[in-house]
A and B are shown apart, each in its own frame.
Chain A
Amino acid sequence: MGDIEQDNSERADGENNKADKLFTLKKWNAVAMWSWDVECDTCAICRVQVMDACLRCQAESKKDFYEKQDCVVVWGECNHSFHYCCMSLWVKQNNRCPLCQQEWSIQRMGK
């Protein structure tokens, strides 16, 4: 934006010293959006938000805050994320990411 304006004014200056600017930017508002740096924020296995405890941990009446903290998120090399509980059950029978079918290997774990 700034460049274009400058180009115009320079050219105008060269051609005609008293040429009016096409427009002047007086005010602008920056808008930002954010999202988690993962493909999706819902665990595709149990369909609960990865940042919440998984369906199994919720069902097993882990009412205690610290118990729920145990249910961590796991990211694969493919950048897909699941609950660690959900994924460890699945890889027992098929060591692939259920979303992209790539060989599953853990990139990181945590919250």
Chain B
Amino acid sequence: MITLRGKLKKDPDVSNSKSQNIPSKRVSIRDKLLIKEAQEMEQTLPMTCQVTFNDPHCLYEFTLLIIPDEGYWCGGHFYFQINVPEEYNMIPPRVKCLTKLWHPNISEEGDVCLSILRQNSVDGMGWAPTRKLKDVVWGLSSLFTDLLNFDDPLNREAADLFSKDKELFGIKVKEYLIQFAKR
């Protein structure tokens, strides 16, 4: 396997010139962590998920496609943009849903309500540096199944409709799906 450390060891001139020219530049902890985490994420990807790195040299920016195989959103194509900030893993990745959908925990603007993505939480359910990219992917895919939560909604209208009329809720989800999430 080609690693940065191995490469620097083999080519001492590179590491020397770098540290001389820009002595204050820190090596990104995030990038070091992501080398392992991105690989692990791809190896443990749920059946319903696909990951695309827009730039193979940037492990901190990628798109996640979820195609749920059960539940209200079954068969839809839902795209998520995931950005891992420089301060990772002290702070969580930032997630935006690119596909418009009708979901109690995802707003129509694409904001996602998932406990492990919360930076500051007092209940111990939020982000922790022990979590990894694969946990984020599994969490997002579970929002369409196990983690679907109508009690603490981001899209209140969606949750209200569900409690009033489940059939109508299902119809509205399908309408959005056909209009925005076919491919």
Question: Which residues of A are at the interface with B, using a C-beta cutoff of 8 A?
Answer: 44-47, 55-56, 59-61, 86, 89-90, 93-94, 96, 98-99, 101
Is A60 a contact partner of B130 (Cβ separation < 8 A)?
A: no
> Which residues on A sit within 8 Å (CB–CB) of B130?
44-45, 98-99
Is B33 a contact partner of A55 (Cβ separation < 8 A)?
A: yes
A-B contact count (CB 8 A): 42
- B: interface residue count bin: 10 to 19
Question: Which residues of B are at the interface with A, using a C-beta cutoff of 8 A?
Answer: 19, 26-27, 29, 32-33, 36, 89-91, 119-121, 124, 126, 128-130
Closest to A96 in B: B124
* A39: min CB distance to chain B, Å: 12
Is B29 a contact partner of A61 (Cβ separation < 8 A)?
A: no
* B80: min CB distance to chain A, Å: 24
Is A59 a contact partner of B119 (Cβ separation < 8 A)?
A: no
Complex Cα distance A24/B92, Å?
63
> Which residues on B sit within 8 Å (CB–CB) of A45?
89, 129-130
Is B90 a contact partner of A61 (Cβ separation < 8 A)?
A: no
Given contacts A44-B129, A94-B126, A94-B128, 11 further A-B contacts (CB under 8 A): A46-B29, A46-B33, A47-B33, A47-B36, A55-B29, A55-B33, A59-B26, A60-B27, A89-B90, A93-B91, A98-B130
Is B119 a contact partner of A61 (Cβ separation < 8 A)?
A: no
Closest 4 CB pairs of A and B: A101-B124, A98-B128, A59-B27, A44-B130
